[in-house]
Amino acid sequence: MAGSFFKGCFLSLFDYKTEKYIVAKNKKVGVLYRLIQLSFIGYIIGWVFVSKKGYQETDEAIQSSIITKLKGVSVTNTTESGLLVWGPEDYVIPPQGEAVLFVVTNFLETPNQKLGYCAENPKVLNGHCRDDKDCEEGKMIVAGNGIMSGRCLGKDENSTGTCEIYGWCPIERIFKPQGPLLTNAENFTIYIKNFIQFPKFTFSKSNVLDTADDSFLKKCRFDKDLHPYCPIFRLGDITRRAGYNFQDMATFGGSIGIVIEWDCDLDKGYSNCHPQYHFTRLDVSVSNKTIAAGFNFRHTRYFKNAAGESFRSLFKVYGVQFNVMVHGKAGKFNIIPTAINVGSGLALMGAGAFICDLILLYLMKKGNSYRERKFEGYKSNKSTSEDYSVEDRKGAKEQKNLALL
Amino acid sequence: MAGSFFKGCFLSLFDYKTEKYIVAKNKKVGVLYRLIQLSFIGYIIGWVFVSKKGYQETDEAIQSSIITKLKGVSVTNTTESGLLVWGPEDYVIPPQGEAVLFVVTNFLETPNQKLGYCAENPKVLNGHCRDDKDCEEGKMIVAGNGIMSGRCLGKDENSTGTCEIYGWCPIERIFKPQGPLLTNAENFTIYIKNFIQFPKFTFSKSNVLDTADDSFLKKCRFDKDLHPYCPIFRLGDITRRAGYNFQDMATFGGSIGIVIEWDCDLDKGYSNCHPQYHFTRLDVSVSNKTIAAGFNFRHTRYFKNAAGESFRSLFKVYGVQFNVMVHGKAGKFNIIPTAINVGSGLALMGAGAFICDLILLYLMKKGNSYRERKFEGYKSNKSTSEDYSVEDRKGAKEQKNLALL
Amino acid sequence: MAGSFFKGCFLSLFDYKTEKYIVAKNKKVGVLYRLIQLSFIGYIIGWVFVSKKGYQETDEAIQSSIITKLKGVSVTNTTESGLLVWGPEDYVIPPQGEAVLFVVTNFLETPNQKLGYCAENPKVLNGHCRDDKDCEEGKMIVAGNGIMSGRCLGKDENSTGTCEIYGWCPIERIFKPQGPLLTNAENFTIYIKNFIQFPKFTFSKSNVLDTADDSFLKKCRFDKDLHPYCPIFRLGDITRRAGYNFQDMATFGGSIGIVIEWDCDLDKGYSNCHPQYHFTRLDVSVSNKTIAAGFNFRHTRYFKNAAGESFRSLFKVYGVQFNVMVHGKAGKFNIIPTAINVGSGLALMGAGAFICDLILLYLMKKGNSYRERKFEGYKSNKSTSEDYSVEDRKGAKEQKNLALL
């Protein structure tokens, strides 16, 4: 007897239980339900699978290496610096070919500065004085150029002069850029060597043509159609594609973002994974004219004379910062994301039935009759169950209104 | 006949089929089910929609540009270097206003080094010797300062001297920092210019006030309430807000992270997207005192004398590295994520029914009677199906125990 | 009456409604359903919980600080530069211990360059000339070294000479590296100090041993088993573990990625979170030999003679770029992701029932009899509902074929 019981249990384990449905011959709700189903199927196929490629495993942890190199020369002639020839080793800061680089387009040299005493710059706040009491000895002003000696160097007895400071003298003169001094900087070219790897798929590629022809890189220029694998750009073209004029940016400086995008569908093979280049100006917001515009900094070159005394040249340089950023993702077919997306898509369809049930039961005129049919009152005909059979007769009517699914 | 068949098929396509439910008048399970439903609805509304803003499409690919600029001067007076005035062009390394910058707070200069022969530093491992045999000619020690000449320069005949090396002499002396030399470095100010863009929403903003008043940036200091758009910080305030004292960090050096967070709800408009600043010390772990503490490096300045011979100044500099990082995301209402989140929330509710069914069928005393009702035995009344009607009479009882849903 | 109606409503709110199932004693479909259920349960437990740790809240916003320091000396002897000793302050560019650094392994110095007139490099495109007309005065060539003076310096009357330029003379000579000059660069060591933080869990750790023993870092070398917390690596070992020979890379230069991976299960505690090191070469793609291989750049040192005239040394340096990247994520148990993953796993099971229903209804021979049973035709026995009772008698047969669930 016990044996046949467990045998029964085991057999019933493999009985298939399926939900019992009632057919509501209501065309309005039926059509609505089919429409909801169709829109979910459309969403799953169109959005999840075609647009988002939900059947693919993706790798977004792109590993990337950027090496940049500039070419081009420029000549400047200023009273302070004389006739100067600028090569990449001078106008690219830092020179080591990093992904973030600065190209000097304008500069002011203050040569032969020595440590000594001279007057503070009149543009410095709190540097003005009427007499020596305004210039406390040893005081340092945040935006100043040195330490106060305690003397006031007035232009005139009554007017505001400036305090004397101990610092690198002569002080840098006030400079309002009128236009870029490295006038042909827009003709410089930048060569952006980019190697990428997707470790998950052991896939690697470069943005430079796989060729043994050494002269290719000497002659080519980037062209989306003709030379997509020649990553050499004219600086003027980069700013133009970002929507700005190079000469305007060059006067006060600015910042340009170069985004290299690798969106690779590895199911289509190696040769279908191409880099895309986008250019944006990074240092302007909605209102074009702010006090925050421009990019400049100072650097120095130190020298020693025969007596061993230090002197230096101070350079205030304006220029354009280029910021090469690499984004990318790769996808490849994999059964696990496919199954998850199919499954969760099917599960989503339950939401459609939920909406239609609500309409059928609560919004249709004949809702009551559906409800009686859909919800079968529990009438114990075999077992005795007094605790809940009390309300049996009223049940069918009372469970009408609030029976949220 | 066939026509009416297909017509029937077509019509039945728009019949709405809805699951048949049985009502179990069991208050315990009913209340449990409603509680589970309520908690899911609470989760969907509270967590998914209010807290995580599940109705929004988000863009986390923030594009950012950072330009930094320091202001402030300091004076040092050491025996090696004499009286020196330090401006930003000297104490900021690298000088080009990048997002990662180092501020010198302490230094040791070794001036007038020339290539020649001198004794190795006694602190260098394996540099000690008793006689010339310990100093193999041409040997280079990993942490050494030059190539061994083969001679041992003993202090005394028996005691351990050091090998003679060919290198830049004199060797840097042993230096134990007693405190920062650039004493007022904590009064330096850093101006952090940050422009961001969310390309998906073509939204851009800056952390600098949109004003035409040039003097604003000359006078203001950051204040969360008064001047949230004046990104000028005193270095001492930054370390204080990171929980550390500047003078302590300045002696041996350290690393500070400045995180700018842009969490923008674009449904609320441009003016509700503000930058938040967070400061953390990056170079300390749980145990405060490790051998890994501190930050220093060496750099050089090269000179040539009248005879064309090279000599150099070697600087060992200690200081604080500032690392400006920008995080951000923007969200905007979109129908697709809203629909997905509503749908998957509803699908989740099925899990509640699953749990209640298990309780009703297997944990309640009256489970058997529910089971008979819930699972309608398949009794073929029209078609003949001998293969499964055999167990019909026992069926209702035997499928009791293992009928997992 | 109204009172008892609302009371009934309220009571029926806590009635539990459960789907009615019919039992199809079909072993094939039953076994299939159980298999699908088992595979989903296996997926949830195995993939979601064990492999992906779906019960954990994760923090992928790792905050990291990298400080690098190199040790080692090398000696070079060239005709241009003479006998030179190279220390880290010379061969590491930039010197400030950043996460991206360049180690010089090969170089060409062009000393004592002065601004003046000399012949263009014959390798420069468009620099060749037959007579003065080819050298337009004031013209600048992109890859050239200066501005044309207008004179053609021919080797011979007929053969191609080069234009005279104004620039830094003498021009750098043509240089084909035969092998690295800093021969023992592979014995240099790099110390990579890495501090990480997971802000969400306020967890921080370093890759350096927590010890007070100062000499530990002077003597140890990284060893996965013996010294996992001694992050000091020999450069030759790094390239070897990336799969390349250091001497091969050193001649023309290259780029190496050092990935530090922190995959922390914080449920297991502080001591179970270890850094993992991976090394890859970043600058080679599938085809090993491309024109894009190698890494070099130029930098300068400026001097002034007694007369105040500038001259400079131009260095073309080849070397290996090291790029330290930190990835990481931390996980800790949290009830919300656990509940979401359990719930959506259960919701997924509905997909299994969907597939089995399709098979049962449309692919089994006895599908019709199941269908009649599963879909209960709506026969209005109480309410009068003429609009849909018309097709009642045919209903059961006609809804056979297209009744998609």
Establish whether the linkage from the previous residue to A94 is cis, with ω within 30° of 0: yes
Give residue A264's pLDDT. Answer: 92
Give residue A403's pLDDT. Answer: 38
Pairing of strands C21-24, B375-377: parallel
Q: Which residues of C touch A204 (CB under 8 A)?
A: 284-286
C1 close contact with A: CB closer than 8 A: no
The C-alpha atoms of residue A99 and residue A63 are separated, in whole angstroms, by: 14
Segment C8-25 shows an average pLDDT of 76
* Interchain CB distance below 8 Å, B218 and A125: yes
Lowest mean pLDDT among A83-87, B95-99, B247-251, B334-338: B334-338
* pLDDT at A378 exceeding the cut of 80: no
Whether the CB-CB separation of B191 and B69 falls below 8 Å is answered with yes
Q: Cα dihedral sign for B335, B341, B344, B350?
A: negative
From A63, A67, A210, residue closest to C257, measured CB to CB: A63
What residues of chain C, 180 to 239, have a C-beta less than 8 Å from chain A? none
Chains interfacing with B (3 or more CB pairs < 8 Å)? A, C
Give residue B265's pLDDT. Answer: 92
User: pLDDT (tens digit, 9 = 90+) per residue, B334-385?
Assistant: 887 887 777 777 766 766 777 788 787 778 777 777 777 777 764 433 333 3
Distance of CA A103 to the CA centre of its chain: 23
In the predicted model, what is the mean pLDDT of chain C? 82
Give residue C4's pLDDT. Answer: 62
Give residue C384's pLDDT. Answer: 38
Q: Cα dihedral sign for B131, B136, B137, B141?
A: negative
Segment B193-222 shows an average pLDDT of 86
Give residue A67's pLDDT. Answer: 92
Chains interfacing with C (3 or more CB pairs < 8 Å)? A, B
Segment B39-44 shows an average pLDDT of 84
* Interchain CB distance below 8 Å, B376 and C405: no
The C-alpha atoms of residue C235 and residue C249 are separated, in whole angstroms, by: 11
Nearest to B202 by CA among B391, B42, B38, B332: B332
Give residue C396's pLDDT. Answer: 37
Lowest mean pLDDT among B379-388, C33-42, C260-269: B379-388
Higher pLDDT, C64 or C353: C64
* pLDDT at A29 exceeding the cut of 90: no
- Per-residue pLDDT band at A353 (split at 50, 70, 90): confident
User: pLDDT (tens digit, 9 = 90+) per residue, C218-257?
Assistant: 888 999 888 999 999 999 999 999 999 999 889 989 999 9
C24 close contact with B: CB closer than 8 A: yes
Give residue B401's pLDDT. Answer: 35
Segment B105-133 shows an average pLDDT of 88
User: pLDDT (tens digit, 9 = 90+) per residue, B12-34?
Assistant: 777 787 788 888 778 888 888 88
Domain ranges in chain C? 22-54+334-372, 63-110+178-332, 121-170
What residues of chain B, 96 to 155, have a C-beta less than 8 Å from chain C? 100, 102, 115, 125, 140-147
User: pLDDT (tens digit, 9 = 90+) per residue, A235-270?
Assistant: 999 999 999 999 988 998 999 999 999 999 999 888
Q: By CB neighbour count within 10 A (0-12 exposed, 13-18 middle, 19+ buried), where does A295 fall?
A: buried
Check the annotation: does A69 bind a ligand: yes
The C-alpha atoms of residue C330 and residue C57 are separated, in whole angstroms, by: 8
Q: A182 in helix, strand or coil?
A: coil
Q: By CB neighbour count within 10 A (0-12 exposed, 13-18 middle, 19+ buried), where does C167 fall?
A: buried
Q: What is the dihedral of CA A76, A78, A81, A82, to 10 degrees?
A: 80
Segment A100-111 shows an average pLDDT of 94
The answer, as to whether pTM is greater than 0.90, is no
* pLDDT at C190 exceeding the cut of 90: yes
Residue corresponding to tokens 């170089």: C107
User: pLDDT (tens digit, 9 = 90+) per residue, C61-96?
Assistant: 888 889 999 999 999 999 888 999 999 999 999 999
Segment C161-176 shows an average pLDDT of 89
Count other C-beta atoms under 10 Å from residue B255's C-beta.
24
* Interchain CB distance below 8 Å, A22 and B26: no
B307 close contact with A: CB closer than 8 A: no
Give the H or E element holding residue A106: strand A100-119
Q: What is the least distance, in Å, from the CA of A112 to any CA of chain C?
A: 9
- Per-residue pLDDT band at A36 (split at 50, 70, 90): confident
* Interchain CB distance below 8 Å, B12 and C270: no
* Interchain CB distance below 8 Å, A210 and C15: no
Give residue C60's pLDDT. Answer: 85
* pLDDT at C404 exceeding the cut of 70: no
ipTM score here?
0.81
| Encoded amino acid at C283, one letter | D
The C-alpha atoms of residue A395 and residue B21 are separated, in whole angstroms, by: 14
User: pLDDT (tens digit, 9 = 90+) per residue, A285-327?
Assistant: 655 556 667 899 999 999 999 998 999 999 999 999 999 999 9
* pLDDT at B302 exceeding the cut of 70: yes
CATH code linked to domain A63-110+178-332 = 2.60.490.10
* pLDDT at B194 exceeding the cut of 60: yes
* pLDDT at B1 exceeding the cut of 60: no
Segment B315-335 shows an average pLDDT of 92
In the predicted model, what is the mean pLDDT of chain B? 82
Q: What is the least distance, in Å, from the CA of B395 to any CA of chain A?
A: 8
* pLDDT at B178 exceeding the cut of 70: yes
A298 close contact with B: CB closer than 8 A: yes
From C300, C304, C354, residue closest to A303, measured CB to CB: C304
Lowest mean pLDDT among B201-210, C144-153, C380-389: C380-389
Superfamily for the B22-54+334-372 domain: atp-gated p2x4 ion channel (1.10.287.940)
User: pLDDT (tens digit, 9 = 90+) per residue, C329-343?
Assistant: 999 998 878 877 777
Give the H or E element holding residue B239: helix B235-241
Whether the CB-CB separation of B248 and B105 falls below 8 Å is answered with no
Give percent above pLDDT 70 in chain B. Answer: 85
From C15, C89, C336, residue closest to B298, measured CB to CB: C89
B242 close contact with A: CB closer than 8 A: no
**Beta-carbon contacts below 8 Å between B and C:** 250
Lowest mean pLDDT among A15-29, A239-253, B242-256, B385-399: B385-399
Give residue C391's pLDDT. Answer: 37
Give residue B158's pLDDT. Answer: 54
User: pLDDT (tens digit, 9 = 90+) per residue, B54-106?
Assistant: 889 888 888 888 999 999 999 999 988 899 999 999 999 999 999 999 999 99
From B21, B146, B395, residue closest to C23, measured CB to CB: B395
* pLDDT at A162 exceeding the cut of 90: no
* Interchain CB distance below 8 Å, C295 and A67: yes
Segment C380-391 shows an average pLDDT of 37
- Per-residue pLDDT band at A153 (split at 50, 70, 90): confident
Give residue A32's pLDDT. Answer: 86
Establish whether the linkage from the previous residue to B170 is cis, with ω within 30° of 0: yes
A8 close contact with B: CB closer than 8 A: yes
C62 close contact with A: CB closer than 8 A: no
B280 close contact with C: CB closer than 8 A: yes
The C-alpha atoms of residue B77 and residue B83 are separated, in whole angstroms, by: 4
User: pLDDT (tens digit, 9 = 90+) per residue, C192-224?
Assistant: 999 998 988 988 888 988 877 778 888 889 998
